[in-house]
Amino acid sequence: MSHYDENTLEEVRRANDIVDVIGEYVPLKRSGSNYFGLCPFHSEKSPSFSVNPDRQMYHCFGCGASGTVYQFYENYLHMSFPEAVRALAERAGITLKESEDTPEQKRRKERRDQLLAVQKEAAYYYYGLLHTDHGKACLDYFKKRGLSDETMVKFGLGYSDAFSDDLYQYLKKKGYKDDILKDSGLFTFDERGIRDKFFNRAMFPIMNQYSKVIGFGGRVMGDGKPKYLNSPETAVFDKSHTLYGLFLARRSRRGYFILCEGYMDVIALHQGGFDCAVASLGTSLTPGQVSVISTFTKDVYLSYDSDGAGVKAALRAIPMLRNAGIMPRIIHMDPYKDPDEFIKALGSDEYQKRIDKAENFFIFQIRQLQKEYDMSDPGKRTQFQRKTAEMLLGFKEELERENYIDAVCREFNIPVEAMRSLIRDIAAKQLLNASKQRRTTQTGTKDGLMSEKNGKAPIDKNESLLLSWISYRPDLFSIVFKYVKPPDFQEGILRGCAFAMYDQMEKSGIINPAGIIDSFDEVDDQNEASKIFHEYVGDLQETPKDERGRAFIQTLTRVVAKVYDERMNSLEATDVARFELIRTKKESLSEISKLNIPNA
């Protein structure tokens, strides 16, 4: 993640008080032990952005953004992690000592830098060619599509010449060697020779979130095939984690993203004032792209084409977005096909009205489901309602499910109480079937479930809460770790946090949440760790004081019982050690039930 050791990161973090750092960009007012202000990551009228000086962390109760001074610089100032470290060190007057790269790391970095240089040089060449006689037809095409000179410059639009080795000859004259050009994705090397991959095409540079060109998309000028062509994946271009327009959208203050299908949709929206538009490079949305989106916002408006293919794409995207905790809404652009056509015909103000009237993702799903049934047939109508009830069961939180039951029944004219009764019947049958299945099969994961998003077991809520208790009340550390050791926690984020907390408490008796969060390399892991130390702690603080002791004991009981059950499940039914575990489990749970934890 960086070339700085843990001690260096801690030194820089301690030298940059989070209240002072964030206060330079966000007006903060003290309220109790925390400071509050308007969230810089989403639009709001009432302050929900909290900065905790004791924990050296920030958290927004509106959009969920949270982290340390490093994450604030990354997300607010659009820096990479190493850039954030260097900037904060400079702010504090600290001279950094970077660890030396291994020879292999140096080789990979040099190779990557060379490939990025090739992409940048190609982008300059395509842009320059657009403004010559060779590119006149392409420039006219862009202008006919309504693009201004400013927009063409902003997106670096260009033209690849009709000659099949034009770019190759240009880059060779610049001194680039074939081994680099071969890996750039810009050329075809085969028995017939070396040819440009893109020729006679309108060129759209694809940039990463740091505004570096990593690939290209090209639209053929004329009747050639394929109409659109993208760069192949390279060492610098991972299509499954790249979003067109993200380098601009990440700076938007709108608080949401508009997700489109194509380059021109994104460009038209940005030109129309919607600087939060991105696209998935003409392919189906991927889990990797969703993961990238989730680091910037939890609100997404789908603006896919209005045809059947666009509807199917939206239906595929919704579950992925929901699994990442993103709330999608659907923008209806009828009678126009896409955002580009819509804005040309009706303008930005009308498009904003469509955003304001965007449809909730679940109502959209049910509306599309309804089209599959003949609603004039009582039997088909009942089948539709049963399928709707099954989908409503997907909302695990009762209050949320009730809200959707009311909304769906009102929208589709279904008796509310009849729907509730149907849901109870289906839930009872599902529970019975699940019980039967558990008796006959054993799952291969810790929790018996796999996350559709990444193939990992979902984060165990009870274990997360238990770690939050320790963070909130370090005096509970000795009680928890008497019964549960770090290896007992779920593999991954929770186990990593448990080991770090255990190590900190053993050494100093003080828990440093910011240090633990920054010890994880992946942004997703940092976000999950932040929840443990901020979001879940917030939940605990909202629990009435006279209920906290009982809540802590219940959480500890669930985790300890699970630990023993997993140990027993790994043993044969007749194993003597299994009977010993049963006895120990009973004793431990009995001890826990007798604990007196006032105001935990």
CATH number of the CATH domain containing 22: 3.90.580.10
Within 8 A by CB and 6+ apart from 378, the residues are none
pLDDT number for residue 397 = 83
Beta bridge partner(s), residue 299: 327
Q: Are residues 600 and 548 in contact, defined by beta-carbon separation less than 8 angstroms?
A: yes
**321, 336, 366: which is the final residue of a domain?**
366
The answer, yes or no, to whether the previous bond of 27 is cis (omega within 30 of 0) is no
Q: Which of 21, 68, 69, 62 is nearest to 42 (CA)?
A: 62
Written as tens digits, the pLDDT of the chain (600 aa) is 446 778 888 899 999 999 999 998 889 999 888 999 998 887 777 888 999 998 899 998 888 888 999 999 888 877 778 888 988 998 998 888 766 667 887 888 889 999 999 999 999 999 999 999 999 999 999 999 999 999 999 999 999 998 888 999 999 999 999 999 999 999 999 888 999 999 999 999 999 988 899 999 999 998 878 888 999 999 999 888 899 999 999 888 898 999 999 999 999 999 999 999 999 986 689 888 998 898 788 899 999 999 988 999 999 999 999 988 899 999 999 999 999 999 999 999 999 999 999 999 999 999 999 999 999 999 999 999 999 999 998 887 888 999 999 999 999 999 999 999 998 888 877 766 654 554 454 344 434 333 434 445 677 888 888 888 888 788 888 888 888 888 888 888 888 888 888 888 877 778 888 888 887 777 778 878 887 776 555 555 666 666 677 788 888 898 989 888 888 887 666 666 777 778 888 888 888 888 887 665
CA separation (Å) from 120 to 23, 99, 115, 205, 295?
37, 29, 9, 9, 26
pLDDT number for residue 96 = 84
483 with 587, same domain: the answer is: yes
109 with 68, same domain: the answer is: no
317 with 401, same domain: the answer is: no
Please tell me the distance from the alpha carbon of residue 526 to that of residue 470, in angstroms, as a whole number: 18
113 with 221, same domain: the answer is: yes
pLDDT number for residue 446 = 39
Domain that holds residue 87: 6-92
pLDDT number for residue 436 = 55
pLDDT number for residue 432 = 62
pLDDT number for residue 360 = 97
Helix axes 361-370, 378-392, angle to 10 degrees: 150
In a domain, 1, yes or no: no
At residue 272, the 3 state secondary structure works out as: coil
DSSP state of 51: E
pLDDT number for residue 448 = 38
Total structural domains in the chain? 5
pLDDT number for residue 366 = 97
On the 0-12 / 13-18 / 19+ scale of CB atoms within 10 A, 188 is: middle
247 with 137, same domain: the answer is: no
Helix axes 416-440, 398-412, angle to 10 degrees: 130
In a domain, 449, yes or no: no
401 with 279, same domain: the answer is: no
At residue 326, the 3 state secondary structure works out as: coil
Long-range pairs for 111-115: beta carbons < 8 A, 24 or more residues apart: 111/180, 111/183, 111/235, 112/235, 112/236, 114/176, 114/180, 115/180, 115/183, 115/184, 115/234, 115/235, 115/236
24 with 85, same domain: the answer is: yes
**350, 366, 382: which is the final residue of a domain?**
366
In a domain, 118, yes or no: yes
Beta bridge partner(s), residue 205: 216
In a domain, 491, yes or no: yes
State the virtual CA torsion across 120, 126, 130, 134 in degrees, nearest 10: 150
pTM > 0.85: yes or no = no
